[in-house]
Amino acid sequence: MISALKHASQHVEILHPTEYARWDELVRRSAHGTIFHHSWWLEATGRDFEILVCRDPEGQIVAGIPLPRKTRAGITLFHSPMLTPYLGPIFDVSRAVSMNEKLSLVRQTGEALARAIKGYDSLIYLVGASAPDLQGFLWADFQAVMVGYTFRFDARTSMEQVMKEMTDHHKRNLAKAQRRQTLVQMDANIDVLLDLTKQTFARQGLPLPYPESLARRLWSAAQCRQQADIYLACDAKCNPVAGLLTVHDTRCTYQIVSGMSPGAQNSGGCQLVIWRAISDSLLAGRMYDFEGSSIRGVEHYYRQWGGIAKPVCRLERAGSLRGSIVQKLIRHRNRTLIEM
């Protein structure tokens, strides 16, 4: 087995687009795959991308990493697209029998993938709670820095357990929303949600941090595959007060976009849409991932739901001096946001 893995780790190539369906099969098989790894999601981001893969001796794809890229001022960035929280390498270890064989596959193949990535000034991905062992990338001079936590409910969690673990603050707001006859409805129109989201950022004096067209493309691509839901909380007069967009694969549901109307912070509407989304996810046998944040206020809000804290790492490497400068600027910006 080890000799076969060694041979496979040397067969690394850029996947031809005609084989993207085979890549998507790997994403579904791999315990490390997320909805964000799928070729259709990467296409919907509007970013140019390639997929670097490793094949076994039989020609099967056993590992790979998406390489979305953009160029600014002559600097090539392999960074995760907006609204794509998790990326990074994925592996299929289903045919490995022992733990040693699994680690051999992931580490040898991971190093081969990492050393085959070329043509960038800066590479940065957040790898989520389902990330693989990254030792092979460390051997290839990448860095994996623990930068924060997300919060997750396991798929076997009951709603009774969720209620038990959440703080009294969230419980009171849920009760308040019920007293005010706030109802949650599913909606296929993203316009209302985007309007709520713009209002949320406007209250902070900020523009929407991503193009509306991007959110619409991702919603359309996921919704037509029945892998996205929009939840709207409406008050007794049918006015929308809060909204949430989630996307999911067979294993996990992820929060992507949320918003609320002015003055709705304490209405309970925000808690109500999340409560409904968590309930739907657990009833479907999926984990629920809050797609956490290191920003103090946001982290505190998510933590109050009582999910399990899972570490989130940043996989990065600078391919040039200019890339190093870019990464220093990004780290400085992130520290500023965390301290807000």
Average pLDDT value for the chain: 92
Question: What is the structure's pLDDT at 332?
Answer: 82
Fold for domain 2-149+311-338?
Aminopeptidase (3.40.630)
Q: Is the pLDDT of residue 72 over 50?
A: yes
What does the domain layout of the chain look like in residue ranges?
A: 2-149+311-338, 156-285
Q: In which band, very low, low, confident or very high, does the pLDDT at 4 lie, cut at 50, 70 and 90?
A: very low
What is the share, in percent, of the chain residues with pLDDT greater than 90? 80
Q: In which band, very low, low, confident or very high, does the pLDDT at 339 lie, cut at 50, 70 and 90?
A: very low
Question: What is the structure's pLDDT at 255?
Answer: 95
What digits encode the pLDDT tens for the residues 196-241?
Answer: 999 999 988 999 999 999 999 999 999 999 999 999 999 988 899 9
Question: What is the structure's pLDDT at 10?
Answer: 64
Q: In which band, very low, low, confident or very high, does the pLDDT at 190 lie, cut at 50, 70 and 90?
A: very high
Question: What is the structure's pLDDT at 337?
Answer: 55
The predicted model gives 152-171 an average pLDDT of: 96
Q: Is the pLDDT of residue 1 over 70?
A: no
When comparing pLDDT for 51 and 95, which is higher?
51
Is 2-149+311-338's fold the same as 156-285's?
yes
The predicted model gives 20-36 an average pLDDT of: 97
Provide CATH code, domain 156-285: 3.40.630.30
Q: Is the pLDDT of residue 121 over 90?
A: yes
Residues sharing a CB contact under 8 Å with residue 200, sequence separation 6 or more, in sequence order = 258, 259, 260
pTM recorded for the entire structure: 0.93
When comparing pLDDT for 147 and 85, which is higher?
85
Question: What is the structure's pLDDT at 262?
Answer: 86
The predicted model gives 269-281 an average pLDDT of: 96
Task: Please tell me the least confidently modeled range out of 178-182, 190-194, 273-277.
Answer: 178-182
Question: What is the structure's pLDDT at 48?
Answer: 97
The predicted model gives 290-308 an average pLDDT of: 87
The predicted model gives 109-124 an average pLDDT of: 97
Phi and psi of 169, rounded to 5°? -60, -50
The predicted model gives 46-63 an average pLDDT of: 95
Question: What is the structure's pLDDT at 296?
Answer: 81
Q: In which band, very low, low, confident or very high, does the pLDDT at 329 lie, cut at 50, 70 and 90?
A: very high
Phi and psi of 26, rounded to 5°? -65, -45
